[in-house]
A and B are shown apart, each in its own frame.
Chain A
Amino acid sequence: MTLHAKSIAELSAGLRAGEYSSVELTQHFLSRIAAANAALNAFVTVTADRALADAKAADRRRAAGDAGPLTGVPIAHKDIFCTDGIRTTCSSKMLADFVAPYDATIVERLSAAGTVLLGKTNMDEFAMGSSNETSFFGPVKNPWNPAKVPGGSSGGSAAAVAARLAPAATGTDTGGSIRQPAALVGISGIKPTYGRVSRYGMIAFASSLDQAGVMAPSAEDCAYLLAPMSGFDTRDSTSVQRPVGDYVEELGQSLKGMRIGVLREFFAEGLESGTGARVQAAVDEFRRLGAEVVEVSCPNLPLSVPTYYVVAPAECSSNLSRFDGVRFGHRCVDPKDLMDLYKRSRGEGFGAEVKRRIMTGTYVLSAGYYDAYYLKAQKVRSLISADFKNAFDKVDLLIGPTAPTPAFDIGAKFDDPITMYLNDIYTIGANLAGLPAISIPCGFVGELPVGVQLIGPHFSEGRLLAAAHAYQRETDFHRRIPAAYA
């Protein structure tokens, strides 16, 4: 088996057995990136020198008998995580030359675990988008069909993993930005419980929804990375002080007797029929594997898209105020006064979608509109959370589609934001309620992959990964690699 087709567990075993060094492994992935990135545009920055240095250090660590399961395993980080000395762009002109003087907590933790940094992946600008078309550095292509989008906003991480340019990558998920692209490129992607993973060093889009997670071919791979990323961080007040489970160990849990709820609202109008059929087949497979499948309802869930498009823009309008041309980021040439500095620096630095959300957010927080929009959205958010809580009184996990359709054509929805926003209809609920959720591949419509989503109660990452792993032991969709990248 070629190196890039191996799972993280297999790579880890190979490194441990001395079949190859981390330097060899890293060179293998760097050469794949060099060959494929021009076509896919998955990486904004490839950190070859850093990767080789990391790999050498990992090999030395191993020689010294100080290696963990991830020591020497190459990964990529979404370009939203600050990396000390390496530019962090958020795929925006605003930060095209921004070099953070520090590492995000998850970058620090994964480095400490011995991972090797291959590079920073492309994304929708400031994580705002569902197709990776809003990137200042251009769209990312879907490895299954270069005319299709890879989903977004973690489209670069998704494409890089799907094309096996990296064994795994980090992502962030504010309204589906890990799960939807994972579904559209046929890989696994987990968004943990809000507060499970530190947000420190992750450039904020919507603080109450943002959560970092992992994208990799399988749930097992995700388990390997998620454990070291997780846990309380004194630098993030919203991270939770609660022990982290041994997710790899917990993968052994059986599906027998597990109650899985089929979300009625997720199989209503708008779900493309081929996608619906693949997801239904996955539900049947879970039943066959011993899960008890029942239908449940979260009646307020259909309100999640409008709720999200009030809350997320409101927070982003404030979070992005710091990009004012004064201390860091893009500054316009020769400002004539302070107002000119603000207007032109921001006007030039932000793309259209970011501006649209800043304006929407500013509007919903304005005097006279706050109650009607922001406050009402918060109330609906509470109702949606309560719906989930009621559902989890009856079942252990919820199941449904990740996205309503397989990957669509680049450009098809770009000028129609409302249709674009509906792509997140099945993923946003978990963000609004702070719940962990995973998308795993469950088949194809034509040549394009389809994802099925599992949502669990707060801090049920171990259970979610175990359920996904049980399914993946019986299926091979997660092992399929696009022919062009096999």
Chain B
Amino acid sequence: MSLSTTPDGWEVVIGLEIHAQLATRSKIFSGSATAYGAMPNTQASLVDLGYPGTLPVLNAEAVRMAVKFGLATGSKITERSIFARKNYFYPDLPKGYQISQYEHPIVATGSIVVLLDDGVRKTVGITRAHLEEDAGKSLHEGLEHASGIDLNRAGTPLLEIVSEPDLRSAKEAVAYLKTIHTLVRYLEICDGNMQEGSFRCDANVSVRRIGAEKFGTRCEIKNVNSFRYVEKAINYEVLRQIDVLESGGSIVQETRLYDSVKDETRSMRSKEEANDYRYFPDPDLLPVVLAPEFIADVRASLPELPHEKAARFVSQYGLGDYDAGVLTASRELADFYEAVVGKLGSDSALAKVAANWVMGEFSALLNRDGLEIAASRVSADALAGLLTRIADNTISGKIAKEVFELMWSDQLEADAVIEAKGLRQITDTSAIEAAIEAVMAANPGQLAEYRSGKDKLFGFFVGQTMKATGGKANPAQLNELLKIKLAGP
């Protein structure tokens, strides 16, 4: 089931809780490394294991990262935030409580502008963002009658970003999620890796009749780990809730899990079964008091933000909103684009050509080979070199694609490929004329038809002549000369 439109008469209300793993080198309350994928329990210190007598010590870098996020979303930074204990028993929660923030989160009330598919800019409220530690992982595979516990992840710093219930469709939710995803990577506070769980979200979903004032009862969908699944899970849940309500039932407040194989959500626990977390301020940690100078220092360290960069791309390079949005979706892509443009001079037409190439051919080959930009087989300089050869008519755009493939596979400069393969564009008028004449001589029937008024055959002659020149004829020149020749003496 993947319906993106909501049935008539219903409104969908969604709020997201995003868990962004902060890209600190060590854990939030201990000195252990946070690297992913190590052997189980090799990155768990006595503090992470909750050993008797051990105490948490706050990682200042995690605080700095949270403040960065707060400032980037225009949020209020809490001058005195407090860590609290969330108490519950679970084998992968070593202390029997999670250190989180409850009443006084470090980041409070901000917002972010989300560019929707239809070009509308929507402001989504951010209720709060707070620091907390991650739990470990329970492993069930390959163990008989037992569960394994890996505490490598225990104590990894998380920023939980809670949105207002401002989102009105699964698509809006995904657009918001992507906007936050882009932002945290710009800020270099999270690697955004959804497969490894560095960026994950819970969705609070409810529906109500259009015009209703009160929100419907919500369900929380836990831990959905890709943009596509977020959309599918919400869409499934919306239809499920509407189905229940339309058949006279009522929604039970509960936590639901999304099963991506069956494409459905199912009940995990109801409100009644929910824990009473008995939050209270953690006496082992002092309140986090932030000096105005510290906040000012973090503010000064903020990079150009995605929406600022997109706006600049529109004004500086004459790009459309959509293209600017795509190019600025990651800081690496935007930087690559600007590196290319930087080599091309100030011609705004070329800036647009460059945008098309970066979003098109370049991104396609990266995707095909599963490479990050940093590992690209064609550098920004090399791509600029290729675009320069299009601009100076050495090759056509079509040939350029062929050249680009070879540059990618053989890691060569554009000029080297053009020379080696003899792909230099034919701009010599007499050579093109000779080719045209040969095609005309070989196709007397089509020539007669054309001359008797069948204009559509023009394309046939373009194709044949191009073929005869090995695709190298300058297309504009070819067009012009062909018109004259075909018209007859």
Question: Contact partner of B53 among A203, A234, A238, CB < 8 A?
Answer: A203
Chain A residues with CB below 8 A from B344, complex form: none
Judge whether A207 and B87 touch: CB under 8 Å.
no
- A residues 304-329 with Cβ under 8 Å of B? 314-315, 317-318, 320-324, 326-329
| Distance (whole angstroms) from the CB of A236 to the closest CB of chain B | 5
Given contacts A322-B94, A324-B89, contact A366 B50 (CB under 8 A): no
Q: How far is the CA of A111 from the CA of B453 in the complex (A)?
A: 106
Chain A residues in 8 Å Cβ range of B57: 234-237
A210 (CB) vs chain B CBs: closest residue: B283
Q: Cβ of B286 and Cβ of A318 under 8 Å apart?
A: no
Residues of A near B286 (CB, < 8 A) are 237-238
Known: A235-B57, A370-B280. A321 touches B97 (CB 8 A): yes
Given A322-B94, A322-B96, the answer on whether A235 and B51 have CB atoms closer than 8 Å is no
Answer whether residue A95 sits at the interface, using C-beta atoms and an 8 A cutoff: yes
Contact A202 B46 (CB under 8 A): no
> Do A365 and B53 touch across chains, with their CB atoms under 8 A apart?
no
B54 — nearest CB in chain A belongs to which residue?
A200
Specify the chain A residue showing the minimal Cβ separation from B52. A203
- Does B197 touch A at the CB level, under 8 Å? no
Number of interface residues of A (CB under 8 A): 45
Contact present for A104 and B94 (CB under 8 Å): no
CA distance A207 to B96 in the complex (A): 15
A102-B46, A237-B55 known; A318 vs B284 contact (CB < 8 Å): no
CB-based contact B85/A318 at 8 Å: yes
The answer on a CB contact under 8 Å between A321 and B96 is: yes
Per-position binary interface string of chain A over residues 81-120, scored 1 when its CB falls under 8 Å from any chain B CB and 0 otherwise: 1100000101000010010111010000000000000000
State whether the Cβ of A333 lies closer than 8 Å to any Cβ in chain B. Answer: no
Query: By the criterion CB–CB under 8 Å, are B56 and A237 in contact?
Result: yes
Q: Which residue of A lies closest to B284 (CB)?
A: A207
| B interface footprint on A184-222 (CB within 8 Å = 1, 0 otherwise) | 000000000000000111111011100000000000000
State whether A321 and B52 are in contact (beta carbons under 8 Å apart), knowing that A237-B284, A237-B285, A237-B286 are contacts in the complex.
no
Contacts of A484 in B (CB 8 A): none
- B91 touching A338, Cβ below 8 Å: yes
In whole angstroms, how far apart are the Cα atoms of A206 and B282 in the complex? 11
Bound-state CA distance A236–B283 (Å) is: 11
How many whole Å from B80's CB to the nearest CB in chain A?
Answer: 15
Contact B53 A366 (CB under 8 A): no
Residues A322 and B58 in contact in the complex (CB < 8 Å), given A238-B284, A365-B87: no
Contact with B along A373-398 (1 / 0, CB 8 A): 01000000000000000000000000
Determine if B50 and A200 form an interchain contact, defined as CB atoms under 8 angstroms apart.
no
For the complex formed, measure the closest distance between the CB of B207 and the CB atoms of chain A, giving whole angstroms.
28
User: Does A38 interact with chain B (Cβ within 8 Å)?
Assistant: no
Indicate whether B149 reaches chain A with its CB closer than 8 angstroms: yes
Q: Does A362 have its Cβ within 8 Å of any Cβ on chain B?
A: yes
A352 interfacial by beta-carbon distance below 8 Å: no
B95, CB-defined interface residue at 8 Å: yes
| B53→A322 contact, CB < 8 A | no
The DSSP consensus for interface residues of chain A is loop
A385 CB to nearest chain B CB (Å):
15
Known contacts being A238-B286, A367-B276, is A322 close to B50, with CB within 8 Å? yes
Instruction: Check if B71 is an interface residue, CB within 8 A of chain A.
Output: no
Given contacts A235-B57, A237-B58, A324-B89, contact A95 B52 (CB under 8 A): yes
Q: Are A322 and B52 in contact (CB under 8 A)?
A: yes
**A-chain residues with CB within 8 Å of residue B285 when the two chains form the complex:** 237-238
Q: A314-B280, A321-B95, A322-B96 are in contact. Are A104 and B53 (CB under 8 A)?
A: yes
Please tell me if A342 contacts chain B, counting CB pairs below 8 Å. yes
Q: How far is the CB of B26 from chain A (nearest CB, A)?
A: 13
Q: Is the CB of B276 within 8 A of A366?
A: yes
Residues 357-371 of A, flagged 1 when their CB comes within 8 A of B and 0 if not, give 000001001110010
Q: Is the CB of B55 within 8 A of A82?
A: no
- Whether a CB of chain A sits under 8 angstroms from the CB of B421 is no
Are the C-beta atoms of B283 and A315 separated by less than 8 Å? Answer: yes
Q: A237-B58, A318-B87 are in contact. Are A202 and B53 (CB under 8 A)?
A: yes
Q: Does B278 sit at the interface, judged by CB under 8 A?
A: yes
Q: Which residues does chain B contribute within 8 Å of A367, judged by CB atoms?
A: 276, 278
Question: How does the 8 Å CB contact mask read for B52-67 relative to A, with 1 for contact and 0 for none?
Answer: 1111111000000000
Q: Are A365 and B55 in contact (CB under 8 A)?
A: no
Which residues of the other chain, B, contact A207 by a CB distance below 8 angstroms?
283-284
Chain B residues with Cβ below 8 Å from A314 are 280
Distance, CA A361 to CA B429, complexed state (A): 94
In the assembled complex, which residues on chain B have CB atoms less than 8 Å from the CB atom of A90?
A: 52
Residues of B within 8 A of A208 (CB): 283
**Least Cβ–Cβ distance between B57 and chain A, in angstroms:** 5
Structural contact, B283 and A100, CB atoms closer than 8 A: no
Partner of A322 from the list B55, B95, B278, B283 (CB cut-off 8 Å) is B95
Tell me if B52 and A328 are in contact (CB < 8 A): yes
B residues 87-131 with Cβ under 8 Å of A? 87, 89, 91, 94-97
Contact A318 to B49, CB < 8 A, known contacts A234-B57, A236-B55: no
Q: State whether B276 touches A100 (Cβ < 8 A).
A: no
Query: Shortest 6 CB-CB distances between A and B: which pairs?
Result: A321-B96, A208-B283, A365-B278, A207-B283, A201-B53, A322-B50
Would you list 8 pairs from A and B whose C-beta atoms are within 8 A, ordered by A residue?
Answer: A100-B53, A102-B46, A200-B54, A318-B278, A321-B96, A324-B96, A326-B94, A326-B149
> 17 extra interchain contacts, Cβ-Cβ under 8 A, other than A102-B53, A237-B58?
A81-B53, A82-B53, A100-B53, A200-B53, A201-B53, A204-B52, A204-B53, A204-B284, A235-B57, A237-B285, A238-B284, A238-B285, A317-B278, A318-B87, A321-B97, A326-B149, A370-B278
